[in-house]
């Protein structure tokens, strides 16, 4: 059975989650992926808004890091910015918003679960930021960026570029002499709505995570294990 995707959600409900008001036409444009636009006869896509939103996001995040970490060198700030605005971290923001149920996708992208692809989700977050900037200017956009990524900004100070919990867990385990983490993943449910659960063991620590893809479940498990292993003193 092909993936039918999540039930289509009313776009205006998304505005309540974002905490901003957007003109209905601009909101729909921000949610229009090129696959949908192509099937609809070549209507405008959200790519120009994505281009604008990417710049707004980069500016706000760069300013925040500059002010929060006055003693960090440029190279460290650049790594933290890369982590915060990475495709993976923006896709995580999108999943918290359940953005996949709002994006307008073509039939082909729906069949291949485009509603859960990191690339599409992260691009749509940027398009929404671009639309917010056009509607309200920089100050409201800054507030929205902080609501969406402040948690990621805090994590970036510890994890560096990519926000890769698996890599961070591996490094933390090796530092304590525990060896490489071991993962096991199980899945259940129909193909179009499959859920995965991952377990990871790293020395004395066990992490468990869930997600709509194996890699998401493994990252969630690695995050839980990393937070636990970080409490163990090095050399203990």
Q: Per residue in 63-100, pLDDT tens?
A: 999 999 999 899 888 888 988 898 888 998 999 999 99
User: Domain 11-157 sits in which CATH superfamily?
Assistant: Ribonuclease III domain (1.10.1520.10)
Its pTM surpasses 0.85:
no
pLDDT at 58: 96
3-class secondary structure, 97: coil
Does position 163 have pLDDT exceeding 70, yes or no? Answer: no
Average pLDDT over residues 121-138: 97
Q: Determine the topology of domain 165-229 in CATH.
A: Double Stranded RNA Binding Domain (3.30.160)
Using alpha carbons, list the distances in angstroms from residue 220 to 176, 209, 213. 21, 5, 11
Mean pLDDT (the chain, rounded): 89
In the predicted structure, residue 231 carries a pLDDT above the cut 70: yes
Task: Specify whether 116 is catalytic.
Answer: no
Average pLDDT over residues 188-204: 86
Give the strands of the sheet with 195-202, arranged side by side: 182-188, 195-202, 205-211
**So what's the pLDDT on residue 161?**
44
Q: Can you tell me whether residue 51 is helix, strand or coil?
A: helix
Measured distance CA(199)–CA(85) in Å, rounded: 27
**Cα 123 to Cα 63: distance, rounded to the nearest angstrom:** 21
Angle 113-115-118 from CA coordinates, rounded to 5°: 95
71 has catalytic annotation: no
Q: Do the two domains 11-157 and 165-229 of this chain adopt the same fold? A: no
Domain chopping of the chain, boundaries: 11-157, 165-229
- Residue 156 — pLDDT band, cuts 50, 70, 90? confident
| Residue 168 predicted with pLDDT over 70 | yes
**Which helix (H) or strand (E) covers residue 158, if one does?**
helix 118-159
* pLDDT bucket at 129, cuts 50 / 70 / 90: very high
Evaluate if residue 146 carries a pLDDT over 80: yes
Active-site choice (50, 116, 123, 126): 126
Say what the pLDDT of residue 2 is.
Answer: 41
- Return the biggest CA–CA distance within the chain: 64
Q: Which residue has the higher pLDDT, 128 or 231?
A: 128
CB within 8 Å of 127: residues ≥ 6 apart:
29, 30, 31, 46, 47, 49, 50, 53
Who's near 40: CB < 8 A, 6+ residues apart?
Answer: none
pLDDT at 169 over 60: yes
């Amino acid at each position: 059975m092909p993936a039918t995707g999540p039930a289509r959600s009313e776009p205006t409900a998304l505005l309540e989650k974002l905490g901003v008001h957007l003109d209905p036409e601009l909101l729909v444009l921000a949610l229009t992926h090129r696959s949908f636009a192509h099937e609809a006869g070549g209507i405008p896509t959200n790519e120009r808004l994505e281009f604008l939103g990417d710049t707004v996001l980069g500016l706000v995040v760069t300013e925040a890091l500059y002010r929060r970490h006055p003693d960090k060198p440029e190279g460290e700030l650049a790594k933290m910015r890369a982590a915060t605005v990475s495709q993976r971290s923006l896709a995580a923001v999108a999943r918290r918003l359940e953005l996949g149920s709002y994006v307008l996708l073509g039939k082909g992208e729906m069949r291949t679960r485009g509603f859960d692809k990191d690339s599409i989700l992260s691009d749509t977050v940027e398009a929404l930021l671009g639309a917010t900037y056009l509607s309200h200017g920089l100050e409201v956009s800054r507030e929205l960026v902080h609501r969406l990524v402040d948690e990621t900004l805090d994590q970036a100070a510890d994890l560096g570029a990519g926000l890769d919990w698996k890599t961070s867990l591996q490094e933390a385990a090796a530092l304590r002499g525990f060896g490489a983490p071991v993962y096991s993943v199980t899945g259940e449910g129909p193909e179009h709505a499959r859920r995965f659960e991952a377990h990871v063991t790293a020395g004395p620590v066990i992490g468990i995570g869930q997600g709509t893809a194996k890699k998401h479940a493994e990252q969630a498990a690695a995050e839980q294990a990393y937070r636990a292993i970080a409490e163990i003193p090095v050399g203990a």
